[in-house]
Structure 1
Amino acid sequence: MELSDLSVLYVMDKCSKDESLYTLLCNTVNKVTCTKTIEESKKEYIKQSPCLIIINSEFEDKNIIDFMNEVRSDDIKTAFIVISSNNNNSYLSELLELYITKYIIKPFDDKTILDALHKCMEIIERRLYSNFKLSDNIYFNFQTQSIIKGNESYVLNKKESLLFNLLIQNQGRIVSYEEIEYHIWNNEATEAALKSLIRDLRKKTFKSIIKNYSGIGYKLELKNIHQNFDTISN
């Protein structure tokens, strides 16, 4: 994958129009679609299916955050770059939970943007074309959102996919019950529903892969695995 393969949705609020950035993107990536309202952004996101969304905003209200949350509710693969002159962004913790790739403070130079684009490209490529090793002969495939177990393949349903991506993105730490409920059920989960979801994922992988820390949350447990990503053979 090259930068010239990227399709970009460029969302800028009325205070953030940056013609030089737009020109740079047009000269670098495959396609750039610009939007200035949330409704327009939603329509273009559905229509274009971009692999990267660049948010250029001062975050004066929560509309942009709500849009990003809506994207993430079904889509863990699309990369985000956030650009702002807001040094004390009150929404920063929420942005971090949305797995943004880069948060760029204005002013910036072309190299900063190009470095961010390269980082996004690496992440997108890894998600699309790599298997994530869970154990010997057991992998998670980002492109198909499925578990590959020996000669068998199990496609995850929407909630299973969201939870598994959440755990992979946060491997090395415990993901709290509250985080899981927020990302999977929009804070409307029952304990029984969460336990059922965990049980189903364990059946498709192996029992000890998701460890419960009582009163805290769940953590992905991958033992004795030094190389998690294996490139898929063509």
Structure 2
Amino acid sequence: MRKEMSKDITIKLSSEMEEFLTEKAKEIQLPIEETIEQLINEQINNKVIFDEGFYYDKQKNALLDKSGKIIQFTKLQNGLFNLLMQNKGKIVDFDVIHKEVWKNKKMSIFTMRNIVKRIRDLTYYGIIVNHSNKGYSLGETF
């Protein structure tokens, strides 16, 4: 469990930043301080952080590396990764993967393992966790 801490921070705003924040604060009808807090929270809540600098950007609906480059997946890789993202924190069993990613078309366990291996090759080994005889889950940091 995270302990909530509060810290006052002073920042210098350029005139463009101040103008943007003033307009945004008027738009959402909040003081500038609360507007800044809301904008930061949106950014934090928009990302799922993984190890080795990888993160999933919910707005872009994409996995990015530490330099911000989008990881290009094939259709099956993308389907599997998105299914695991939708079920983060849970084990997705092989039957569900077969139904959702392969749309019940012919698929062997070796094909599924190969897709997992290729995702790991593009990212890092621990991004997908194998649960023997059960299925897969994401190995997210938080």
Q: TM-score, structure 2 length as denominator? A: 0.59
Partner SS for 2:50: strand
- 1:136 shift after superposition: 4.8
Counterparts of 1:142 and 1:190 in 2: how far apart (Å)?
31
Over 3 Å counting, the alpha-carbon distance change for 1:161 and 1:178 in structure 2 is same
Higher strand proportion (structure 1 or 2): 1
- 1:132 shift after superposition: 2.6
Note if 1:150 corresponds to 2:66.
Answer: yes
Over 3 Å counting, the alpha-carbon distance change for 1:172 and 1:146 in structure 2 is closer
Match of 2:97 in 1: 180
The equivalences for 1:108-123 within 5 A come to: none
Larger Rg: 2
Higher helix proportion (structure 1 or 2): 2
Counterparts of 1:197 and 1:189 in 2: how far apart (Å)?
11
Partner SS for 2:71: strand
Deviations 1:172-200 (A, max 9, x none): 22110000011011222111210111011
Q: How many residues align?
A: 97
Structure 2: state its 5+ residue gaps: 1-41
Specify the code of the residue in structure 2 equivalent to 1:179: V
Report % sequence identity: 26
Structure 1: state its 5+ residue gaps: 1-125, 226-234
Q: 1:166 aligns with which of 67, 70, 83?
A: 83
Deviations 1:150-208 (A, max 9, x none): 22432222211211111111122211000001101122211121011101111222101
Answer yes or no: is the 8 Å Cα contact 2:48–2:140 preserved in 1. no
Counterparts of 1:156 and 1:142 in 2: how far apart (Å)?
16
- Measured on the aligned residues, the alpha-carbon RMSD in Å equals 2.2
Match of 2:139 in 1: 221
Counterparts of 1:148 and 1:172 in 2: how far apart (Å)?
20
Q: 2:124 aligns with which of 206, 209, 225?
A: 206
